[in-house]
Amino acid sequence: MPDPTPGESVASEPGPRIAAFFDVDNTIIRGASAFHLARGLFERGFFRPRDILWAAVMNARYQLFGENTEQIDEIRSSALSIMTGHSVAEVVAIGEEVYDQVMELRIFPGTRALLDEHLAAGHQVWLVTATPVEIGEVIARRLGATGCVGTVAEHRGGFYTGRLVGDLLHGKAKASAVRALAERDGIDLAASYAYGDSANDVAVLSSVGHACAINPDKRLRRHARAAGWPIRDVRGRRRAATRHGLRTASWAGVAWVAGLALRQVRRRLQG
């Protein structure tokens, strides 16, 4: 099967089981899904105003400059400390609400159409993300995907401990998880597909026969061109904005969240 190009449907083929593996942040959903969840948790009193301000800064950096290992480790440590002691059921319920209220509106139609084409072709569709697996599974269910492979936060008695089970699902760890899943489910990786937006997705993109860069950062774009992978940009008209405009919009978002945090502080002091 040739690599898909914009507007081309994905045809099903007889033979070994085929899957499509999708990154989530900036591939399916605009921005960082963990930030949207953090906002939802903040609004429900899970943590302090300075935590949501920090998350807003991380989200702005992510959208402006892409992801890097140091940033992801920083996010992981903070997120785990925030979740410690909270129940899994409560977090999943909030994740469902946040998806319906926020994330669904930020789904890229072009990626959603591509995902639906794979499902229609009878392929398995898996989300592969560093986001906590419980939240990734919420997104997968809403999209009708087969399932999600995500970061596993340890929980005991239904409550998060603040530790991970295994590694953060990122970079090479994503590729290892995909290979393990393929072995378990009898998926032919050479006939399968993968989609990602970051140079940190290169390992998982390289593990399949049909890789495609979606909304790629500069490093992934260069790698995709060198490797001959298709490149898609599904961001629509927003893609035409200048880099200055993107910076202004993102940091305006940080300022808005900072204002929200300050209002919360003021209300508590007045109370």
Terminal alpha carbon distance of the chain: 64
Written as six digits, the tokens of 124 are 């398995």
User: Are residues 230 and 3 in contact, defined by beta-carbon separation less than 8 angstroms?
Assistant: yes
Please say if 201 is a catalytic residue: no
Q: Which amino acid is at 43?
A: E
The active-site residue out of 3, 25, 167, 201 is: 25
Q: What is the DSSP string of the chain?
A: -PPP-TT------SSSB-EEEE--BTTTBSS-HHHHHHHHHHHTTSS-HHHHHHHHHHHHHHHHH---HHHHHHHHHHHHHHHTT-BHHHHHHHHHHHHHHTGGGGB-HHHHHHHHHHHHTT-EEEEEEEEEHHHHHHHHHHHT-SEEEEE-EEEETTEEEEEESS--S-THHHHHHHHHHHHHHTB-GGG-EEEESSGGGHHHHTTSSEEEEES--HHHHHHHHHHT--EE---GGGGGS-HHHHHHHHHHHHHHHHHHHHHHHHHHHH-
Contacts of 269 (CB under 8 A, 6+ apart): none
> Is-catalytic flag, 23?
yes
Catalytic residue among 3, 23, 201, 217: 23
Residues with catalytic annotation? 23, 25
